[in-house]
């Protein structure tokens, strides 16, 4: 794929990934958001869902490419070049999700913060955070679903900061790849986070869980078949070395 | 003259319909709908075009005002109260019931009262409705999920019905069973149906416990548990059973739906209590859903949801950590 087409492709992916966030902004300005019965809960679910969906889309890229290679088609190889970008968008929505929890869910007083800033009290955001900090700490210590959710975000954060090419060069390709396999863990923790959040008997998280399971199974199938193939290849290289 | 419930079947006269600034398109009544229109998604425009057909709720007549008010909190906007419902028979998301409950057929409706009573009896809905004058009571409504509303309910004390059927001395608990009908309801897999809830006899007799037929001065919307439900304002919302078809007087504590599903999370008593957390979240605070603000007030939760004076004595000496 040439550069021009790549630019177009990237623009399209950017636009697609930004669309949900823009929809939310639009809902804010046209009043649809506050007309929701529970706007905070709406934003929480919205950002959480999109973080998970985009993460799953990201995880689907490699299996799709591999499967298409099996089918003898090279066309989908280009997908790999979007992998980092899509992953960063998953991190973006996960961060919005986390910010929603801290700034809207936990009882953080946003109007007071704004009023304080307008009155010239620069430390007002910090002061307000201190007020709700005990509640957040309590959640972190006691609530399993918050712990796994935060762990999932922390992984995405780690992968995001190590995503630039320079970081890859610093860490080394092999290590970088190992590190970035944690994305599967992030996806799994995201699903666990969802299951532990809903009431027993409620099965809304089953769809994302099913998709994640299928993606992991495809991965495992490739690993297994790769393991079976790589043994003779190693022998071949040894022989080459002997010559 | 009370026109209710006859005019539920026929189309209610336009004068009886409260005009709504915020039309909830999904409140379309199936019986009044041209077939299939509800599914098209174009219902919003339709509702505006045909207001006469847009609402199933009927304005209630001769409401008695009461001292039960919540002066320090604004009332939840009606549209919010009627679009955010936990009514799992119609789906698991909170906007599902408003979208799906139009299939609930609320007339004719019977409520069977049975078990340990001297006068077991099946009430035709109209009989039940006319048993007592309808009172309007504004209550705090606290969901176990840590959000709350302030809602004007219309009904009369459940005790009035209990007196009519004369419970035997052996009756210690009251069980409520909600409608289970796979033709009208989705009934998601994973929850044992019918929905069952229960109260101790003294709780059921407490003057606060309201047999509820309406809200905001009109009959209950389907998604709120039409045509008749209970409201137990000092307990978490799931105790207030919806669309009741059976009231059973029993000797032993009846099995209740959420308690059976997750006994460590949902107790039989389920009294609102800021000091006993849900295992997965704190109950010390609640998000007050009574404004159009993006930044809702998060307020401290009150013991017994602020109804200690009327109910605390019933639990004197009980370990509320064990009996959550």
Non-local (6+) Cβ contacts of A241 within 8 A are none
**Per-residue pLDDT at A82 exceeds 80:** yes
CB A91 within 8 A of CB A159: yes
Average pLDDT over residues B90-105: 94
Average pLDDT over residues A89-100: 97
Question: What is the predicted pLDDT for the residue at A203?
Answer: 83
CB B229 within 8 A of CB B217: no
- The residue with tokens 């045509």 is B227
Pick A202's closest partner by Cβ from B79, B92, B289.
B92
Summarize pLDDT for B201-217 with one digit per residue, the tens.
Answer: 999 999 999 999 999 99
What tokens were used for A103? Answer: 């700034």
Averaging pLDDT over each range in B11-20, B36-45, B173-182, which range is the top one?
B173-182
Domain ranges of chain A: 3-105+143-242
CB B95 within 8 A of CB A46: no
Average pLDDT over residues B20-25: 37
- Specify the higher pLDDT residue, A65 or B146: B146
CB contact A107 to B (< 8 Å): yes
Question: What is the predicted pLDDT for the residue at B52?
Answer: 35
Q: Mutation target for A interface from B280, B297, B300: give the one with most A CBs within 10 A.
A: B280
Question: What is the predicted pLDDT for the residue at A229?
Answer: 63
Percent of chain A with pLDDT over 90: 61
Distance from CA of A53 to the nearest CA of B (A): 18
What tokens were used for B60? Answer: 């209630």
Separation of alpha carbons B211 and B128, rounded Å:
10
Question: What is the predicted pLDDT for the residue at B1?
Answer: 38
Separation of alpha carbons B324 and B317, rounded Å:
14
Among chain A residues, the shortest Cα distance to B24 is held by A35
Chain A residues inside the 8 Å CB shell of B280: 143-145, 196-197
Separation of alpha carbons B137 and B12, rounded Å:
25
Question: What is the predicted pLDDT for the residue at B201?
Answer: 98
Alpha helices in chain A (DSSP H): 3-29, 32-35, 39-70, 83-100, 110-118, 124-142, 144-161, 165-171, 173-180, 182-197, 206-242
Summarize pLDDT for B123-132 with one digit per residue, the tens.
Answer: 999 999 999 9
Phi-psi region for residue B200, left (φ > 0), alpha (ψ -120 to 50) or beta? beta
> Residues 4 to 23 of A: which have CB under 8 A from any B CB?
none
- The residue with tokens 């078990």 is B115
Distance from CA of B122 to the nearest CA of A (A): 32
**Per-residue pLDDT at A74 exceeds 80:** no
pLDDT bucket at B279, cuts 50 / 70 / 90: confident
Among chain A residues, the shortest Cα distance to B257 is held by A201
A-B C-beta contacts closer than 8 Å: 78
- Specify the higher pLDDT residue, B241 or A132: B241
Bridge-based pairing state of the strands B244-250 and B110-115: parallel
Question: What is the predicted pLDDT for the residue at B32?
Answer: 36
What tokens were used for A124? Answer: 């007002």
Average pLDDT over residues A153-171: 94
**Is the CB of B281 less than 8 angstroms away from the CB of A28?**
no
**Per-residue pLDDT at B281 exceeds 60:** yes
Chain A residues inside the 8 Å CB shell of B262: 199-201
**Per-residue pLDDT at B237 exceeds 90:** yes
Separation of alpha carbons A240 and A234, rounded Å:
10
Question: What is the predicted pLDDT for the residue at A65?
Answer: 85
Question: What is the predicted pLDDT for the residue at A73?
Answer: 67
- The residue with tokens 């006859």 is B6
CB B151 within 8 A of CB B136: no
The neighbouring-strand residues paired with B156 are B211
Separation of alpha carbons A212 and B285, rounded Å:
35
CB contact A102 to B (< 8 Å): no
Average pLDDT over residues B144-157: 97
Summarize pLDDT for B104-116 with one digit per residue, the tens.
Answer: 999 999 999 999 9
What tokens were used for A47? Answer: 């950002």
Non-local (6+) Cβ contacts of B144 within 8 A are B236, B237, B238, B266, B270, B278, B283
**Per-residue pLDDT at B41 exceeds 80:** no
- Specify the higher pLDDT residue, B35 or B141: B141
- DSSP for B282-295, written as a single string: --SEEEE--SS-SS
Distance from CA of B125 to the nearest CA of A (A): 31
Angle at A19 between CA A65 and CA A99, to 5 degrees: 100
- DSSP for A105-169, written as a single string: IS---HHHHHHHHHTT-TTHHHHHHHHHHHHHHHHHHH-HHHHHHHHHHHHHHHHHHT-SHHHHH
- The residue with tokens 């209990």 is B162
| CATH number for region B60-315 | 3.90.420.10
**Per-residue pLDDT at B35 exceeds 60:** no
Summarize pLDDT for A196-217 with one digit per residue, the tens.
Answer: 988 777 788 999 999 999 999 9
Question: What is the predicted pLDDT for the residue at B45?
Answer: 37
**Is the CB of B265 less than 8 angstroms away from the CB of A40?**
no
**Per-residue pLDDT at B284 exceeds 80:** yes
Q: Mutation target for A interface from B281, B284, B286, B297: give the one with most A CBs within 10 A.
A: B281
Q: Give chain A's mean pLDDT.
A: 88
pLDDT bucket at B40, cuts 50 / 70 / 90: very low
Least confident of A130-134, A161-165, B6-10: B6-10
Among chain B residues, the shortest Cα distance to A28 is held by B294
> Residues 182 to 241 of A: which have CB under 8 A from any B CB?
196-204
Separation of alpha carbons A85 and A163, rounded Å:
9
Alpha helices in chain B (DSSP H): 6-9, 43-49, 51-54, 78-81, 96-100, 125-129, 158-165, 201-205, 257-261, 308-311
What tokens were used for A212? Answer: 């994640």
Summarize pLDDT for B166-191 with one digit per residue, the tens.
Answer: 999 999 999 999 999 999 999 998 89
Separation of alpha carbons A105 and A41, rounded Å:
8
- Interface confidence: ipTM more than 0.95: no
Separation of alpha carbons A54 and A211, rounded Å:
12
User: Strand locations in B66-109, DSSP E?
Assistant: none
Burial class (CB in 10 A: 0-12, 13-18, 19+), A129: middle
Break chain B down into helix, strand, coil percent, rounded to 5: 25, 25, 50
Average pLDDT over residues B207-236: 97
**Is the CB of B281 less than 8 angstroms away from the CB of A135?**
no
Chain B residues inside the 8 Å CB shell of A142: 277, 282
Tell me the CA distances in angstroms from A68 to A6, A61, A73, B43, B189, one per residue in order. 20, 11, 5, 43, 37
Q: H/E element holding B244? A: strand B244-250
What tokens were used for B249? Answer: 């007087």
Distance from CA of B324 to the nearest CA of A (A): 17
- Specify the higher pLDDT residue, B243 or B47: B243
pLDDT bucket at B21, cuts 50 / 70 / 90: very low
The neighbouring-strand residues paired with B117 are B167
**Is the CB of A38 less than 8 angstroms away from the CB of B298?**
no
For residue A42, count other CB atoms closer than 10 A to its CB: 22
């Amino acid at each position: 794929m040439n550069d021009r087409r790549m630019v177009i492709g990237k623009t399209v992916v950017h636009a697609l990934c930004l669309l949900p966030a823009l929809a939310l902004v639009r809902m804010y300005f046209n009043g649809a958001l506050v007309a929701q019965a529970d706007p905070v809960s709406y934003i929480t679910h919205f950002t959480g869902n999109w973080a998970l969906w985009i993460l799953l889309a990201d995880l689907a890229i490699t299996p799709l490419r591999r499967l298409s290679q099996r089918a003898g088609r090279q066309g989908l190889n280009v997908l790999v070049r979007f992998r980092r970008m899509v992953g960063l968008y998953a991190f973006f929505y996960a961060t919005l999700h986390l910010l929603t929890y801290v700034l809207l869910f936990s009882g953080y007083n946003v109007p007071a913060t704004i009023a304080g800033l307008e009155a010239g009290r620069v430390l007002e955001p910090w002061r307000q955070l201190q007020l709700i900090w005990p509640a957040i700490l309590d959640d972190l210590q006691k609530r399993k679903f918050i712990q796994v959710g935060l762990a999932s975000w922390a992984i995405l954060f780690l992968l995001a900061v190590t995503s630039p090419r320079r970081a890859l060069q610093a860490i080394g390709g092999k290590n970088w790849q190992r590190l970035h396999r944690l994305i599967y863990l992030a996806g799994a923790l995201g699903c666990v986070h969802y299951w532990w959040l809903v009431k027993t008997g409620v099965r809304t998280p089953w769809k994302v869980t099913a998709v994640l399971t299928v993606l992991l199974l495809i991965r495992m199938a490739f690993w297994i078949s790769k393991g079976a193939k790589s043994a003779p290849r190693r022998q071949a290289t040894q022989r080459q070395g002997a010559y | 003259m009370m026109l209710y419930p006859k005019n539920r079947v026929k189309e209610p006269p336009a004068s009886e319909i409260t005009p709504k600034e915020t039309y909830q398109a999904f409140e379309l009544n199936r019986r009044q709908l041209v077939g299939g229109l509800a599914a098209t998604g174009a219902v919003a425009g339709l509702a505006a075009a045909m207001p006469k057909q847009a609402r199933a709720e009927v304005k209630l007549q001769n409401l008695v005002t009461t001292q039960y008010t919540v002066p320090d909190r604004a009332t939840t906007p009606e549209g919010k109260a009627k679009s955010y419902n936990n009514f799992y028979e119609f789906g698991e998301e909170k906007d599902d019931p408003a979208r799906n409950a139009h299939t609930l057929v609320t007339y004719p409706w019977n409520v069977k009262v049975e078990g340990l009573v001297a006068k077991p009896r099946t009430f035709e809905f109209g009989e039940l409705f006319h048993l007592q004058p309808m009172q309007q009571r504004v209550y705090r409504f606290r969901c176990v999920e840590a959000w709350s509303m302030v809602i004007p309910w219309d009904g009369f004390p459940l005790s009035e019905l209990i007196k009519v059927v004369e419970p035997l001395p052996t009756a210690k608990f009251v069980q409520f069973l909600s409608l289970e009908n796979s033709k009208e309801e989705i009934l998601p897999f994973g929850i044992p149906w019918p929905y069952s809830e229960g109260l101790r006899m003294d709780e059921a007799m407490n003057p606060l416990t309201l047999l509820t037929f309406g809200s905001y001065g009109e009959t209950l919307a389907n998604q709120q548990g039409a045509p008749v439900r209970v409201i137990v304002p000092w307990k978490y919302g799931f105790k207030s059973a919806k669309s009741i078809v059976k009231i059973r007087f029993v000797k032993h504590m009846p099995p209740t739906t959420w308690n059976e599903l997750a006994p460590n999370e949902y107790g039989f008593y389920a009294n609102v209590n800021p000091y006993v957390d849900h295992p997965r979240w704190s109950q010390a605070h609640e998000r007050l859903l009574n404004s159009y603000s993006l930044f809702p007030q998060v307020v401290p939760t009150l013991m017994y949801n602020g109804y200690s004076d009327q109910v605390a004595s019933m639990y004197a000496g009980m370990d509320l950590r064990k009996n959550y």
